[in-house]
Chains A and B, each alone.
Chain A
Amino acid sequence: MTAASAASRSGVLRRTATFLYRRPNFYLGLLLIPPLLWFGTVYLGSLFTLLANSFYAIDEFTARIVYEPTLATLRQVVTQPAHIDIIVRTLTMAVAVTIACAIIALPIANYMVRYATPRIKALFYVGVMLPMWMSYLVKVYAWRLILAKQGILSWMLEACGLQGLLDAVLGIPGIGGPSLSSSYLGMFIVFVYMWLPYMILPLAASLERVPESLLQASADLGARPRQTFWNVVLPLTLPGLAAGSVFTFSLTLGDYIIPSVVGAPGYFIGMMVYQQQGTAGNIPLAAAFSVVPIVLIMIYLSLAKRAGAFDAL
């Protein structure tokens, strides 16, 4: 009797399994519905809610949100000189940080992939990722101390007799300031430090996919190392470079902690969003500001695509 019930149970299971196996699309749908629901509501849903908010405006007198579609808030973001300043300042920083990260990351990634022994390579990967596992706030505040007027960096420069150099750099208008920790240069250093791993990892991944024989073929046909770099390595690494730069670019565009802890007092997009949705209670303006990075990255990606960054994919 026990045997019979076991057989019937396995019979039901088996029939269900066969039923699902015969209908692969239905089966796939069944498995995908929960993650898709999560993705659709939590990611895309909230994103669209945010975007929708930028089409509302705030009533100047009551400070209440008026739920009537209008372009006024978005127009405010791109026409008010103070707001344009913020966008330009953030964009300039993002571009500078991205370029610096690319220039530093490419030789490191190339060394990791082409020259390092497996042991050294593993060490490098851990070394690149280790800082990512540490608390973000701790690192930012540590940098503030490092860059402070009486901090270890200026102390070291002074000990090396390079105080004059630091003063000269800090004297440059625009990027300088009273000390590194209160200048755009200092902020730039911290940004580059923070996002470098996000550039190294995709670059290394795309370099791994370039077979050694392509570099040899290039040299074999008479290309000097510099020509091989420009003609073969760089074009084939562009997808990785594009992926890495989207990280460094968008992270800089959206960050509000680094600009508020380190650097000159000028506002950045992230700080503006933080302030508008918090202290000021102007949710539509905050939403409108957060549309800016999305638009900028879309423009950036379409430029990268036009430049052929994804041709080698």
Chain B
Amino acid sequence: MSAAIEFRGVARRYGEVRAVDDVSLSIAPGEFFAMLGPSGSGKTTCLRLIAGFETPDGGTILLDGQDVTDRAPYERDVNTVFQDYALFPHMTVLENVAYGLRVRKVPREEQRRRALEMLELVKLATLGDRRPLQLSGGQRQRVSLARALINRPRVLLLDEPLGALDLKLREEMQIELKNLQRRLGITFVFVTHDQGEALSMADRVAVFNQGRIEQLDTPRTLYMKPATTFVARFVGGANVIEGELAQRLTGAAQPFAVRAEKVRLRQVTDAVPAASMHCTGTVMDVQYHGATTRCQVRLDSGELISAASTDADVAIFPSGSLVMVEWSRDAAVALR
């Protein structure tokens, strides 16, 4: 079975800037695939390359095993949910949803029936006669989803679809999108800069940085075994130790990552546990997050380390106190 989407050495330049730089990837049919990265990392350009709004300067794009590199958007079996929703302001909600059928000259009755079905699917069946401007952000989001799904595409592209929604709505939509994808069984490609969103929703995540894929793995592997300093910092929010300090602690200059919840704080006078790494520093700040408490510790060598604990006992070290930070050797993940 051929991949739903395949990139072979795809490149896209804007003048001197390499927005997408020799990217190869393969997305399986029915997969929930996330493209994660900071703004300007090339993730959105990749999405636009799949949709056909951009043409690559090099490489090949295949959809379902067919080369679509030079095909126009209207000749590709993919549909997009836009970041700004891109609803047609001069059409009603129902007309917006039916648009994909209208331009394919589907009979009027069927257009109406299927558009109503789609509105039912996104729970907006009663709002068909409204104009997009009369809807809330969350409702527009659903209309744009229904409009993109009406052509029954093989692949649905979502460009930061939850970016403009407030936190509660965003969490609801995350669950709904996930359910929808499972029910329809189509491939979702989801662009986001929110690592929490990518980790919680996707089957696999491609982490983008400066036009390249840093790492492509399952959320669990990305979090547990980040491959590069960038992934460790961006995805896991992990402590990255490099340079002299890494040399002193491990005997090699290779950087490594330690997640905050693996770092323990102890009294400076405590005995150092076996098979662990330790250094001393000063507590700079203590933040209470409810489930966890986070401490920022400035090491004597200058680095800032964060430690997270589910126990309240880290709070016994107030700001300014001298502490020993310590973690087990197993917790250190070697990075490129």
**Which residues of A does B touch, CB under 8 Å?**
211, 213-214, 216-224, 227, 231-232, 235-236, 308, 311-312
Contacts and interface: CB of A to CB of B under 8 A. Distances in A.
B183 interface: no
Nearest to B131: A311
Given A211-B84, A213-B84, A219 B72 contact: yes
B90 A219 contact: no
A231 B79 CA distance: 18
B51 A220 contact: yes
B99 interface: yes
A222 B104 contact: yes
Interface of B: 51-53, 72-74, 78-80, 82-84, 86-90, 99-100, 102-104, 147-148, 151
Contact of B88 (A214, A219, A224): A214
Contacts of B151: 221-222
A39 B73 CA distance: 52
B233 to A, nearest CB: 32
Contact of A216 (B73, B88, B147): B73
Nearest to A217: B86
B140 to A, nearest CB: 12
B82 A217 contact: yes
7 contacts: A217-B86, A219-B53, A220-B52, A222-B74, A231-B103, A236-B90, A308-B90
Contacts of B80: 216-217, 220
A235 B92 CA distance: 13
B187 to A, nearest CB: 16
Contacts of B83: 213
Contacts of B90: 235-236, 308, 311-312
Contacts of A222: 74, 100, 103-104, 151
Given A216-B53, A216-B73, A221 B99 contact: yes
Given A224-B103, A312-B89, A312-B90, A219 B82 contact: no
Please list the 9 inter-chain residue pairs (A to B) with the smallest Cβ-Cβ separation, ordered nearest first: A221-B100, A213-B86, A217-B86, A223-B103, A219-B73, A312-B90, A220-B80, A235-B90, A227-B103
A214 B144 CA distance: 12
A90 B87 CA distance: 42
Contacts of B78: 220
Contacts of B148: 220-221
B90 to A, nearest CB: 4
Contacts of B88: 214, 217-218, 231-232
B285 to A, nearest CB: 42
A82 B31 CA distance: 77
Nearest to A236: B90
Contacts of A312: 89-90
A302 B82 CA distance: 36
A232 B95 CA distance: 12
Given A236-B89, A311-B90, A312-B90, A213 B74 contact: no
